[in-house]
Structure 1
Amino acid sequence: MGEKQFDAVVIGAGFAGLYMLHRLRQRGLSVKVIEAADGVGGVWYWSRYPGAKCDSDSIFYNFTFSEELYKKWRWKDRYASQPEILEYLNFVADELDLRPNIQFKTRVNKAKFNNERKQWEIETDSNETFTAKYFISGVGCLSTTNIPPFEGTETFKGEQYHTGRWPHEKVDFTGKRVVIIGNGSSGVQAMPEIAKEAKELTLLMRTPHYVAEARNKRLSKEEQDQAIANYAEIRDSFSTTPGGISMYTTGKSATEFTAQQQKETLDYVWDTGGLALGSVYTDTGINKETNFVVSQYVRDKIDEIIENPEKAQLLHPDYYITTKRLIIGTNFYEIFNEEHVNLVSLKENPIQGIVEDGVKLSDGTIECDVIIYATGYEAMTGSLLKIDIQGRDGQTIQEKWGEGRDVKTYLGLTMENFPNFFMITGPQSPSVLTNMPAAIEQHVDWIDHCIEYLETNALQTIEAQKVSELKWGRQCDDLANATLFPHTNSWYTGANIDGAQRGFVIYVGGLNNYKQICDQVADNHYEGFSFEKAQANVVLQ
């Protein structure tokens, strides 16, 4: 097939791809979005497991760039379920008439920058080639599923599922023996739902996590009306708060309160529900004393809820709270009081492999009818590293990033040697430490204004300078090292993927501060970037 020329090609039709398409199309550019699924939604298209929900309050889990669009939608629940989020993204696609610019059921296999033509050449699995001045990734931080390489998975005679690639039709667990491997967010959300049907449910757990109560509920009409009325405040929180979302805080350290006051405050947060265990005190992520107060509170709650002391002890997390993503669930700890729900610590009894009738552990086999892999994603870099992306002189992104172990970016948006390639919520940006729609809006707006600058000034390419990458990497490292994050192995560092351990690749300084840095770079005529006109290379300092 011949080449198809566009001003911009965007990968992915989730939150990021849809908004990027809207902004560039408003600018009058020709845009093609390439999406592997047969519909919009991104991760919310694929993650259809029982109990799947967002962990941001739903009134913040939407676009705010358009007041008209915002006020046309009303969320049903405090925490929106996967079907409702998918419905919302379809609503957005229809309201903005985005589908004509999206090519579904197509996967990008390769993208190469042609230095002579100053264009990106993008090849797909349907043997099509697209060329574009701008190449933009909206693949997301959590879209490439991780299934550990257990031996024998192909021999299992029962059903196998991954929470990140769930079937569209309902899976019936009635009367079945179910094993779920992993207890991150998807495992915590799925287990209480599966336990309602399964004859037996066994969790194989490597590391216990802190799970806060969601206190999910149906939103009343009055609460929906209030959210509509508060549009300006909600939009403001996207850019003025560290997480892009308003959350309860005392504004103080736990060390400023008595033990009784600490308990009363934490009781309030627990009973109210949500992620405020991470924001209730200002120094939870940097002060070991405060962190211990909050961590121990959750461990005490586990002991209070779970009747079997041995099970409770196994579920005690021992890392610093918030240094792995805080999980919210509904009656997660309570299900371990049910006779048909079992718990196995893989630290004490590791998996040896999958066999035809179940999961083989060191001390024997757990027979089952269904295996569920709630083993997460190759987070932050995995989706990009799966694509053959080549910059100048054929340098691949795999080579650039040392297969993910030495990530280099400028602002988490761009890279040296990869002109006109932009990453929405890429590594070394705030991304997963924020309310994702807020981070996405900030990145898309910045990219859009950058492209406006290039078009207005007749510039062919923009490219991060090497020194800018080095400075930004040091800045991200210095910020992370001033916190408790580096003390914990997590999917933030790739620790959930065998052989993928890397440095901390998230900007931890808060979305509000990050936005100010990005805006300052733009205001200073995109300081730290090199630009190319048709013939001459011009470096602006």
Structure 2
Amino acid sequence: MPDTVTTLDRPTKTVTRTTDAIVIGAGIAGMYQLYRLRQLGLSVQVFEAGSGVGGTWFWNRYPGARFDSESYTYGYAFDDALLAEWNWGEHFAAQPETLRYLNHVADRFDLRRDIQFDSRVAGADWDEAERRWTVTLDSGERFDCRFLITALGPLSASTMPRLPGIDDFQGQSFHTSKWPHEPVDFAGKRVAVIGTGATGVQVIQTIAPLVGSLTVFQRTPNWATPLLNAEITEAEQAKIKAGYPAMFELLRQTPGCYIHQADPRGTFEVSAEEREAFWEELYAKPGFAIWMANFRDMLTDPKANALFSEFVARKIRQRVKDPEVAEMLIPKCHGFGTRRVPQETHYYEAYNLPHVSLVDIKATPIERITASGIRTSDAEREFDMIIYATGFDAVTGSFDRVRFTGTDGLTLKEKWQDGTQTYLGLMSHGFPNMLTLVGPHNASTRCNIPRCIEQNVEWVAELMRYAQEKGITRIETTPAAEADWSRHVEELAGGLLYTLVDSWMTGINRNVEGRTTRRVLQYQGGAPAYREHCDAVAKAGYTGMTLS
């Protein structure tokens, strides 16, 4: 979505096209929502800012971009023939393979005929008299629909650091989410990477062997653990496909829709020897097992968390040869798993290379970007390339960058300014007929995301079917239901250690003005409980909503 909010006059009713539904975004959620609405016989128009499908996987083409959940758990599950015909090449697929898969899905179901590419939505205005939305593109084109469905993505509003001189730099520079489509030559280049979150980790470990020199500018280190990726053999491929029904049933039952389930034991219910052996076993397993299948109290008991954090710190010290650099890479302000855990492949070993250096920008802050490089408080360094791995204005940022105007002239950004308010994470009072896939307060933002996307999309499609059958033209949550759900989301987060930490998961982003207050953005009751809530609402005739 746009990097700045576009100011629009309220539109006239002159529109290019009228449809039953408009979907914003042609990523995993938008594509599947289009498919489901078509099945209902609705006319649908999808607007996508990019020139192709894929969302996250269209934009994020940086070196090393790949899944950190198992490929076969990530793909769509709604079509048995699609599952049977697609062969994932790696247990954790890289971006090019994932984008090929999503293009295959678009081709297979002929989705592109209802998607308008290179079309960025600037604003949407509710017309109470007509009970319809007018959607305006940044080109000025206007479209009219009964139902507006956002599929914006929780990590799509990229942010640059607030540093003077960014435009002065004369070399190559890229934000990781705006990576060029053509190859980038690293040979012999003096490269800087700003940021060591999940994206930064993937970039750094991938380009470190390719560059002339690499300088990493780190504000906050993150706990990173081995991905342990591998190609999928023919025998494994056959086993995966035969096991799909059981696997997808397991994914429905686990809190984050991963194949990993928390160990039922507490950290201090076993001996020190058993505990250490269990952790060694987790460290040697691929993917998120170490985060999702750890002792049940690891993310709620500070003492348990501190003990495991020290275990991972020892691993970092073993892998990084320079003790001073190792200590710089060990987080001191948060425990393991309280921020999203980057998965790595020889990331720590990259700092053992003689041409790789690490700069702590808390100790020596970046003062400005210069024409030739980066100036910190202690030195000025020259570079041929700067890579900004500075992340996203997560979850709500993509909503802020579209001017959604509801029933009383209030924008959604204004409504959420002092705290996000939703019902089921799928709608907000004052914005009738607007459904927010993977929105704030939704289980999808703390989930193996396609699994929760499918639940969101199918629930919305069923609501659309119900509206068709009952002749309903206006759907809105009640203020009381919204307040109850928002309070429920807050209460669920109580006692979780992650709420005490500054991160995108708690709404903190120092690259965005005003993003300095912690907020609960995610439903923490787990995907099965969330699904039960949503199903109960539908079964009872859509309680908490006014339908007319």
Identity %: 38
The superposition leaves residues 469-527 of structure 1 with CA deviations (integer Å, 9 ceiling, x where unpaired) of 11111111111122112110001123223421341111111111111111111111111
Is 1:128 matched with 2:141?
Answer: yes
For residues 8 and 138 of structure 1, the distance between their equivalents in structure 2, rounded to whole angstroms, comes to 13
Deviation at 1:237, TM superposition (A): 3.0
Aligned to 1:131, the other structure's residue is in SS state strand
Q: Please, which runs of 5 or more residues in structure 2 have no aligned partner?
A: 1-13
Contact 1:493 1:501 in 2 (8 A): no
Amino acid at match of 2:447: T
For residues 145 and 196 of structure 1, the distance between their equivalents in structure 2, rounded to whole angstroms, comes to 27
Q: Which runs of 4+ in 1 moved over 3 A?
A: none
For residues 88 and 199 of structure 1, the distance between their equivalents in structure 2, rounded to whole angstroms, comes to 34
Contact 2:15 2:144 in 1 (8 A): no
- Aligned residue runs from structure 1 range 410-429, under 5 A: 410-429=423-442
Partner of 2:129: 116
For residues 352 and 198 of structure 1, the distance between their equivalents in structure 2, rounded to whole angstroms, comes to 25
For residues 258 and 243 of structure 2, the distance between their equivalents in structure 1, rounded to whole angstroms, comes to 13
For residues 361 and 69 of structure 1, the distance between their equivalents in structure 2, rounded to whole angstroms, comes to 52
The superposition leaves residues 313-339 of structure 1 with CA deviations (integer Å, 9 ceiling, x where unpaired) of 111112122111111010001111111
Partner of 2:371: 356
Amino acid at match of 1:290: A
Amino acid at match of 2:536: Q
Amino acid at match of 1:392: T
- Aligned residue runs from structure 1 range 450-529, under 5 A: 450-497=463-510, 498=512, 499-502=514-517, 503-529=519-545
Amino acid at match of 2:107: D
Q: Which moved more, 1:137-146 or 1:389-398?
A: 389-398
Deviation at 1:249, TM superposition (A): 4.1
The superposition leaves residues 314-370 of structure 1 with CA deviations (integer Å, 9 ceiling, x where unpaired) of 111121221111110100011111111101111111111101111110111121111
Is 1:398 matched with 2:413?
Answer: yes
Contact 2:507 2:521 in 1 (8 A): no
Aligned to 2:506, the other structure's residue is in SS state coil
For residues 131 and 445 of structure 2, the distance between their equivalents in structure 1, rounded to whole angstroms, comes to 32
Contact 1:156 1:356 in 2 (8 A): yes
For residues 264 and 353 of structure 2, the distance between their equivalents in structure 1, rounded to whole angstroms, comes to 39
Match of 1:309 among 315, 320, 323: 323
Contact 1:277 1:294 in 2 (8 A): no
Amino acid at match of 2:398: S
Deviation at 1:94, TM superposition (A): 0.7
- Aligned residue runs from structure 1 range 115-194, under 5 A: 115-194=128-207
Match of 2:301 among 279, 282, 287: 287
- Aligned residue runs from structure 1 range 315-326, under 5 A: 315-318=329-332, 319-326=334-341
Is 1:530 matched with 2:543?
Answer: no
Q: Please, which runs of 5 or more residues in structure 1 have no aligned partner?
A: 533-541
Aligned to 2:17, the other structure's residue is in SS state strand
Partner of 2:88: 75
Deviation at 1:406, TM superposition (A): 1.1
For residues 394 and 272 of structure 2, the distance between their equivalents in structure 1, rounded to whole angstroms, comes to 38
Amino acid at match of 1:441: E
Deviation at 1:295, TM superposition (A): 1.1
Partner of 1:384: 399
Contact 1:234 1:245 in 2 (8 A): no
Contact 2:477 2:544 in 1 (8 A): yes
Is 1:299 matched with 2:305?
Answer: no
Is 1:369 matched with 2:384?
Answer: yes
For residues 399 and 83 of structure 2, the distance between their equivalents in structure 1, rounded to whole angstroms, comes to 31
Contact 1:48 1:168 in 2 (8 A): yes
Deviation at 1:126, TM superposition (A): 2.6
**Superposition TM-score, scaled by structure 1 size:** 0.96
Deviation at 1:145, TM superposition (A): 0.6
Aligned to 1:224, the other structure's residue is in SS state helix
Deviation at 1:196, TM superposition (A): 1.5
Q: Which moved more, 1:42-51 or 1:278-287?
A: 278-287
Amino acid at match of 2:544: G
For residues 448 and 260 of structure 1, the distance between their equivalents in structure 2, rounded to whole angstroms, comes to 51
Aligned to 1:445, the other structure's residue is in SS state helix
Aligned to 1:160, the other structure's residue is in SS state strand
Contact 1:206 1:347 in 2 (8 A): yes
Q: Which moved more, 1:81-90 or 1:266-275?
A: 266-275
Q: Which moved more, 1:270-279 or 1:505-514?
A: 270-279
Aligned to 1:527, the other structure's residue is in SS state coil
For residues 254 and 160 of structure 2, the distance between their equivalents in structure 1, rounded to whole angstroms, comes to 35
The superposition leaves residues 434-458 of structure 1 with CA deviations (integer Å, 9 ceiling, x where unpaired) of 1010110010011011111111111
**Superposition TM-score, scaled by structure 2 size:** 0.95
The superposition leaves residues 261-302 of structure 1 with CA deviations (integer Å, 9 ceiling, x where unpaired) of 111111111112211122221122111222122211110100
Deviation at 1:410, TM superposition (A): 0.6
Partner of 1:536: none
Partner of 1:537: none
Aligned to 1:392, the other structure's residue is in SS state coil
For residues 286 and 336 of structure 2, the distance between their equivalents in structure 1, rounded to whole angstroms, comes to 16
Aligned to 2:504, the other structure's residue is in SS state coil
For residues 400 and 37 of structure 2, the distance between their equivalents in structure 1, rounded to whole angstroms, comes to 25
Amino acid at match of 1:293: L
The superposition leaves residues 375-423 of structure 1 with CA deviations (integer Å, 9 ceiling, x where unpaired) of 0011000111100111112211111111xx4111111100101011001
For residues 59 and 98 of structure 1, the distance between their equivalents in structure 2, rounded to whole angstroms, comes to 22
The superposition leaves residues 165-216 of structure 1 with CA deviations (integer Å, 9 ceiling, x where unpaired) of 1000111111011110000111101112211111110110010101010001
Q: Which moved more, 1:246-255 or 1:215-224?
A: 246-255
For residues 262 and 128 of structure 1, the distance between their equivalents in structure 2, rounded to whole angstroms, comes to 61
Match of 1:334 among 349, 356, 363: 349
Amino acid at match of 1:348: A
Partner of 2:275: 262
The alignment yields a C-alpha RMSD, in angstroms, of 1.2
Contact 1:278 1:322 in 2 (8 A): yes
